[in-house]
Amino acid sequence: MFRFKIRMPSLLALVRAGLFVLLWMPLIISNKTIHPFVVPKAFFLFAVVEITIVLLLWLLSRHPQWKPRHSWISIAFYCFVGTQLIASLLSIDPSISFWSEPPRMNGFFQLLHITLAYFAMTCVLRSKKDWVMFLTYSISVAVILCVLHIVSLLGVDILEGARAGSTTGNSTYFGAYLILQVAFACYVFIASQIKWLKWYASGICVLSVVTLFATDARAAQVSLIGGIIFALALFLITQKRKVLKAVGISLVAGLTLVFAAVVVFIFVPGSILQNLFISFATESRLVVWDIAWQAIKDKPIFGWGPETFVYAFLEHYIPCFGSDACGTGFWFDRAHNVIIDTMVGSGIVGLFAYLSTFVVTIVFLWKTFFAKRISSYSPIILTAMLVAYFIQNLTGFDSLVSWFCWVVSLALAHSIVTHGKTQAHHRRLIIAVPIFATVLLPLFIFYFVILPREGCNSAFSSRNATNIEGHLSEYKIAVTVSPAGLDYRRVSLANVTNDYLRSHSVEMLLGNSVSVRQEIALVEEALLDTIDTTPNYLRAYLHLGRLYQIEGRLFDPSAFQKSERVLLSAIEKNPRNQTSYWILSSVLSEQGRVAEAFDLTQTALDFDTRVYKAHIARAAAAKFTGDKELLDRVARESIEMHPKLSGIITTIVQSDINVQRDLLLNVFE
């Protein structure tokens, strides 16, 4: 009788192959979905990890010796993951905490899959040879990213967007990734016994450094320089000669003092370092940090929930955004500081767990060195890398790619500290576990990959459809299928719809009234569902208010009242965010309630007179009143306060409201 049997090397090879394939993640992009540099990477991660884990379970059911050894590094990392799970369950918006949004894709489900990859790495990558091969593969992928970026700087656009951050999407993401790849190349150079591989790794190390300094990732550049100096200091400290130890200790002390001074003086108003920091970042950065601190005090233990920074930002909104003092941006979903972002997302507990992964990893690497079980290069490289990576994240944040590479470094550290340790005999994993996982695999692929991918692809297809039928059919899919980034897709497409309807003449829209009404109904239904399930999602209110205004203009005047109710709800929930006031002023002006509209714009201006948009909106509201004396006074006050607004304010004053009515209504937005 013929019997089919999968042998251990085949299963082991397949699991390792899955992990190697994960290193392709930085290369995964698609021009047929929204956020093509971010979204496809998440779906790729989900699919590959889920298949790899099923194969691993089959391996462990037959050969229990591949179960991972225990280490405090793994315990610290799993504790961090546990805090993120608790914070996600307690989140003010669990959907966004678990799934994140398409521009970021850093929610708990992404972390969970990265954690499963970590588990697989600790099972099947154990020897130095395994890790040299694995990291060589990683830095080889980095070569492709570096070449794409450098070639784009030379004017050859092989890949649209490569100029900013190769295939990672932007320079901040790319900088963090390159710091980790430089360290991996150094590890391969020292750990490998093969001469050509040493030359190969050293060449990639140089290429990665050159590429990093060809980006505008300033934080990553400074962090890398600091990391190299720190690595040198650690090397000197490990030497036997006392004079070299003293020099190394002095370097560490010097770096610590410089770092402390920078941290202190960044927060000193008017200091040279603060001005320098603002020139490299934006005026808004320190203001956003202040808002975040107020939010942390509200929910200090487990935070607001991972990926919910925008809610904390809106709750404690300071109405100075849109001015020179606070920068031009009005919306922030990150504090651009890993400590603050972690505390807002998962509180003190989450921050402690996150920092513990670094501390525990570094402590046990050096403990293993002092026990004379490893040479000094491993703790030196990994310690310097982790410190540099952490410091650059004090003014940035992780992408899915850098997050994964950070976890690779933790798995490497785990392998180093557990190498050669004996472990108790493991029982085989009961056969029901891999069977059950295999049966569920298609469901997981469908839920985590196929449906979310369909939603994001449909959002893209709807935007780019060549006919109304295709546009509406894709639209319906995009605003209903999969909870992954669903609210984001809805408001994103609603914004597209509103912009389209505002940019076309009433005559043209009325000539296509059937399809226009269908689209309005789709958008309304989607946004109402978002408001019902996620009542703090401000953008849904704003876009729905704009939609009702357009509907009232085209088809049903009673929609103006619906717009007013929605926008008043937005003001009630976010009373210091001026955007709702400005849109409502447009709605009221269009109904002829010009005095109420002007009062709203004055209220918004009184929040902070430095905000340019507030002056522009007030001038537009004054124009609609038809009161020339009021308009002249408003214009004079605004121009005296902000001379740079002279051009646009004068244009509003001199415009013919009968001819340019629609343009003036759009000024409010």
The token pair that represents 667 in the structure block: 């000024």
pLDDT(7) > 70: no
What stretch of H or E contains 477? Answer: helix 468-478
- pLDDT in the model for residue 591: 92
> Which residues, 6 or more positions from 63, have their beta carbon under 8 angstroms from its beta carbon?
8, 11, 12, 428
Q: Mean pLDDT throughout 187-192? A: 95
pLDDT(396) > 90: no
- pLDDT in the model for residue 662: 80
- The torsion angles phi and psi of 323, rounded to 5 degrees, stand at -125, 170
Q: Domain residues of the chain, as ranges?
A: 485-568, 577-669
Helices 646-654, 612-625: axis angle to 10 degrees equals 10
Burial class (CB in 10 A: 0-12, 13-18, 19+), 70: middle
What stretch of H or E contains 549? Answer: helix 538-554
Task: Give 409-421 pLDDT, tens digit per residue.
Answer: 999 999 999 987 7
Q: What's the pTM value of the predicted model, to 2 decimals?
A: 0.93
pLDDT(3) > 60: no
pLDDT(669) > 90: no
Q: Mean pLDDT throughout 10-38? A: 94
The token pair that represents 479 in the structure block: 């605003």
pLDDT(379) > 80: yes
Lookup result for tokens 């929610």? 107
Confidence of residue 1 (pLDDT cuts 50, 70, 90): very low
Q: Mean pLDDT throughout 603-624? A: 94
Among 153-162, 258-267, 282-291, 307-316, the minimum mean pLDDT is found in 153-162
pLDDT(470) > 90: no
Confidence of residue 166 (pLDDT cuts 50, 70, 90): confident
Three-state secondary-structure class, residue 53? helix
Task: Give 213-255 pLDDT, tens digit per residue.
Answer: 999 888 999 999 999 999 999 999 999 899 999 999 999 999 9
pLDDT(490) > 60: yes
Among 191-205, 241-255, 318-332, 540-554, the minimum mean pLDDT is found in 318-332
Report how far Cα 14 is from the mean position of its chain's Cα atoms: 31
Lookup result for tokens 């179960």? 67
Confidence of residue 656 (pLDDT cuts 50, 70, 90): confident
Q: What angle do CA 130, 133, 138 make, to 5 degrees?
A: 125
Domain 577-669, second-level architecture:
Alpha Horseshoe (1.25)
Mean pLDDT of the chain: 92
